[in-house]
Chain A
Amino acid sequence: MNKQIIIDGEVVTYRPGQTLIQAARESGIYIPHLCYQPGYHAIGSCRVCMVKVNGRWASACTTLAAEGQVIDNRTLEVDAHRKQIVQMLFVEGNHYCPYCEKSGECDLQATAYELNMQEDHFQHLYPHRSLDTSHAEVWLDRDRCILCGLCVQASAEQDNKHLFTLGGRGTATQLLVNSSSGQLGETNISAADEAVAVCPVGALMKKQSIYSRRSGERTYDKTPISKLEFKA
């Protein structure tokens, strides 16, 4: 027997064991998210999928759907809250959308557009982060990394290579490469790895394939992120 929750006034059915974001997705409802991707374990770190469940804040990717839940998702209040979290992600790193190779294909940028983000709002932290171009096929630009951990999971579980770890603490948290020098060049990463494909931003990029689509013809130029995940 299917059970029901309500998201923004709409009745949504779920199966026991599903999280809010999984249930919503199956019903064609978009809950903004970055560190969660279907097919991956939810870790609940980016907090972009925060919703209000019966008036209390909760992350939709780690909260199980349960009978009686009434959920605010795309309300003014919740989206305003999310926008500020996305703004925090922007000021934390060094993001240069106008000339970023990932522009138009970037989930962070697309989510910012979806939430109508027009300014950074908070003071930029301007961190000093390192760029690793030591590998022939793939580069790692930590300036753009949002610490979602998707590449960590992908490399360990899908590529079977265990090439990445999140290390450090606080704002010094960073993506570490599993090699004695800490450089990508020493690893057996390949441009075809799922770890590269899953990166939602321009942190892990394939070399020699950049700017391959014109502005106006890029993925998110044509379809907003809220619609893209439901396109067949």
Chain B
Amino acid sequence: MIVSIANEYSVPVSEVRAIIDFYHFLSDKKNADYHFYFSNNIIDKMAHSDLLVLQLGERLNSIIQQDPSRVCLDETSCIGLADHAPAALVNGRPLPALNPQSIEEVAELVALGRPLDHWPAHLFQVRTRICRRSWLLNMSLPPGESLLSWQTKGSATILQELQASQLRGRGGAGFATALKWRSCEEQHSGEKYVICNADEGEPGTFKDRVMLSEHSDWLWEGMTLCAATVGASKGFLYLRAEYAYLLPQLETSLQVRRDTGWLGAALKERLGFEFDIQIVLGAGAYICGEESALLESLEGKRGIPRIRPPFPTISGYLRQPTVVNNVETFIHAAAIISKGSDSFLQLGTTQSKGTQLLSISGDCQRPGVYEYAFGETVEQILSDCGADEVQAVQIGGPSGQLLGPQSFHLTLGYEALGGSGSLMIFNHRRSLIEVVNNFTNFFAFESCGFCTPCRVGTALNQRMLTRLHLKQLRQHEIQLLEESVRLMQNSSHCGLGQSAGNSILNLLHDFPETVEQLLNTIGDDNEARLVQALQPAVQLRKS
């Protein structure tokens, strides 16, 4: 198969093999009739996903033994359903909020060989839970409103308004949106591109999934506004493969835009420029959420982050000027231009204006999407979502920070707690080493393998954390662990490696009692015992 693909696209065989080996969802073998991917994020594990996998495995064991091409049970990194944990994908469709009963049902359907189209709909039902609305989610944004504003005011004014709003990227890095758009607008050669990063891979996040399900029109509006402003005619939505089930409804909502004259050739008549959006699916690689790795992936290569500079606004997709923004960022931009930035600027803090969408999951009564103005305390958020006896929260996803109660007075914002808006909650019954070990496994699995410190460091950390979990790690090895993390922070090629050890350092420094209880101290008193044993000899020599 690999050879025929290589021939068809006239590329070396090794290139095809390289790409298949890179992306988790690609394989050189035919997929099983029912291919399950259980989400292995800590939130799913806490909801007993391991037991459910075992249950399904036991039920289907005889089928798998008979014919392995019928069923495959596999796992994958967080699939963006932490508000419906434990969750899995079967042939790309979501199986949210699994429990022993639904697993029985699934096993039965597989045993019967029932096609997925004939499975009961409730098995796939993902319910949107928007638990708190503020500036953005209370808004009504009619199609074209920001585009008409652009038509009246022109690109220069739009850029000024965006700059005045101080909007910063909501994907994690927090770069000023107006600067990005302006830099691309100022390029005078080449075809320009507008790309939406919907590779929402940070474990624990799902707010982009909710926005894509509920407000995709707002996203198309934001991307089209960007295209109008910078002068681009082609746009892409890079959608993570885990969200492939959203594809039909997204295609429909794009077609509605075209039919109503807000996208495609009809725009030319209406506003004097052409712009259309194409949806491209990822294939299972967290690193492709890094914008330059995303561009490589979009070009059909392995998702290895590029050397920067040059930045994408100068040399992006196909080395052309390109704006890459997160889903929420484009939507915020459209909202700001539609409604003006005054009300937006009234919310937030000095360096973080407006609101942010949080994806809240874990030990709380009401997991879901919450919109907060920057500046809100962790404490207040925990109280709002019904979280009691909280031992720790992981904010910003595994690449963010693990906070204990002593830090719950900290506030949302780029100044202190920025990032992707993932908030995972762990109560007192949870084991923090299990949490951090899970994150460490995640990074070892998702490191692209390009640079030495991240490729080797994530593997070393994984081994050391596993040994700490098993109470095998000794005190002097903690120093090795810290050295490995520092090396990754200082010398990794991209943000993945630089931030992969954050939660390890948090665990070591902010939860010393937890770590102390895990250390292997067997034999630590040997030296003292040796001195004691030699005492008679010492006495003898003295006398």
Residues of A close to B15: CB separation below 8 A: 165, 178
Contact of A47 among B285, B446, B491 (CB under 8 A): B491
Cα–Cα, bound, A50→B460 (Å): 20
Q: Give min CB distance, B66 to chain A, whole Å.
A: 30
Complex interface: chain A residues within 8 A of B460 (CB): 88, 91, 122-123, 125
Q: Which residues of B in the span 12-27 have a Cβ within 8 Å of any Cβ on A?
A: 12-15, 17-19, 21-22
Given contacts A169-B22, A170-B444, A170-B446, whether A85 and B12 have CB atoms under 8 Å apart is: no
A160-185 Cβ-contact flags toward B at 8 Å (1 or 0)? 00111111111111001111101000
Q: Is the CB of A178 within 8 A of B14?
A: yes
Q: How far is the CA of A121 from the CA of B482 in the complex (A)?
A: 13
Query: Are A89's CB and B14's CB within 8 A?
Result: no
Scoring A46, A88, A92, A166 by chain B CB atoms within 10 A of each residue's CB, the highest score goes to: A88
Contact A178 B13 (CB under 8 A): yes
Say yes or no for A81: interface residue by CB 8 A criterion: yes
- Residues of B within 8 Å of A147, CB to CB, are 449, 455
Specify the chain B residue showing the minimal Cβ separation from A41.
B307
How far is B2's CA from A178's CA once the two chains are assembled, in angstroms?
11
Complex Cα spacing A92 to B457, Å: 10
A57 within 8 A of B: yes
Q: Which residue of A lies closest to B464 (CB)?
A: A123
Per a CB cutoff under 8 Å, which of A43, A89, A167, A169 touches B456?
A89
Question: In the bound complex, do residue A167 and residue B455 qualify as a contact, i.e. CB atoms below 8 Å apart?
Answer: no
- Of all chain A residues, the one with the shortest Cβ separation from B480 is A122
Q: B175 at the A/B interface (Cβ < 8 Å)?
A: no
The residue from B445, B459, B490 contacting A125, defined by CB atoms under 8 A apart? B459
CB contacts (< 8 Å) of A177 on chain B: these are: 14
Is B457's CB under 8 angstroms from A88's CB?
yes
Q: Given the complex, which residues of B lie within 8 Å of A92, measured CB to CB?
A: 452, 455-456, 459
Q: Residue of A at shortest CB range from B453?
A: A47
Q: How far is the CA of A188 from the CA of B168 in the complex (A)?
A: 53
Residue A18 at the chain B interface, CB threshold 8 Å: no
Q: Does B493 have its Cβ within 8 Å of any Cβ on chain A?
A: yes
Say yes or no for B104: interface residue by CB 8 A criterion: no
* Contacts A88-B456, A88-B487; A167 near B21 (Cβ below 8 A): yes
Q: Does B447 contact A (CB under 8 A)?
A: yes
B interface SS class: helix
Residue pairs across A and B with CB atoms within 8 Å: the count is 129
Q: Are A44 and B307 in contact (CB under 8 A)?
A: yes
Does B54 reach chain A (CB closer than 8 Å)?
A: no
B484 within 8 A of partner (CB): yes
A4 at the interface (CB under 8 A from B): no
Chain A nearest Cβ from B21, distance in angstroms:
4
Write out, one digit per residue, whether chain B residues 451-476 have a CB within 8 A of any chain A CB (1) or not (0): 11101111110011000000000000
Q: Is the Cβ of B458 less than 8 Å from the Cβ of A50?
A: no
Residues of A within 8 A of B457 (CB): 88
Q: Which of A48, A125, A172, A178 contacts B449 (CB 8 A)?
A: A172
Does A69 sit at the interface, judged by CB under 8 A?
no
State whether the Cβ of B271 lies closer than 8 Å to any Cβ in chain A: no
Q: Is residue B170 within 8 Å, beta carbon to beta carbon, of the partner chain?
A: no
The answer to the question of A226 belonging to the interface, with a C-beta cut-off of 8 Å to chain B, is no
Residue B302 at the chain A interface, CB threshold 8 Å: yes
B22 close to A47 (CB less than 8 A): no
Cβ–Cβ < 8 Å partners of B265 in chain A: none
Question: Contacts A88-B456, A180-B13 known; A47 to B493 CB distance under 8 Å?
Answer: yes
Chain A residues, CB < 8 A from B19 = 167
Is B3 an interface residue, CB under 8 A from the partner? yes
What is the CB-to-nearest-CB distance from A40 to chain B, in angstroms, rounded to a whole number? Answer: 14
* Distance in angstroms between the alpha carbons of A167 and B307 in the assembled complex: 19
State the CA gap A102–B490 with chains docked (Å).
31
Bound CA span A44–B449, Å: 13
Q: Does A84 contact B (CB under 8 A)?
A: yes
CB–CB B21/A45 < 8 A: no
Cβ-closest 9 pairs across A and B? A167-B18, A173-B449, A165-B14, A178-B14, A168-B21, A88-B456, A176-B14, A178-B12, A170-B447
Give 24 CB contacts A-B under 8 Å: A47-B493, A84-B483, A85-B487, A88-B457, A88-B487, A92-B455, A122-B460, A122-B480, A147-B449, A164-B14, A165-B18, A166-B18, A166-B302, A168-B22, A169-B21, A169-B447, A170-B445, A170-B458, A172-B449, A173-B449, A173-B455, A178-B12, A179-B13, A180-B3
Extra 10 A-B pairs, beta carbons < 8 Å, given A165-B17, A168-B21: A44-B451, A59-B491, A85-B453, A122-B480, A167-B22, A168-B18, A169-B449, A170-B447, A170-B449, A173-B450
Interface positions of A (Cβ within 8 A of B): 42-48, 50, 57, 59, 62, 81, 84-85, 88-89, 91-92, 121-123, 125, 147, 162-173, 176-180, 182
B interface residues with partner A (beta carbon < 8 Å): 2-3, 12-15, 17-19, 21-22, 285, 287, 302, 307, 444-453, 455-460, 463-464, 480, 483-484, 487, 490-493
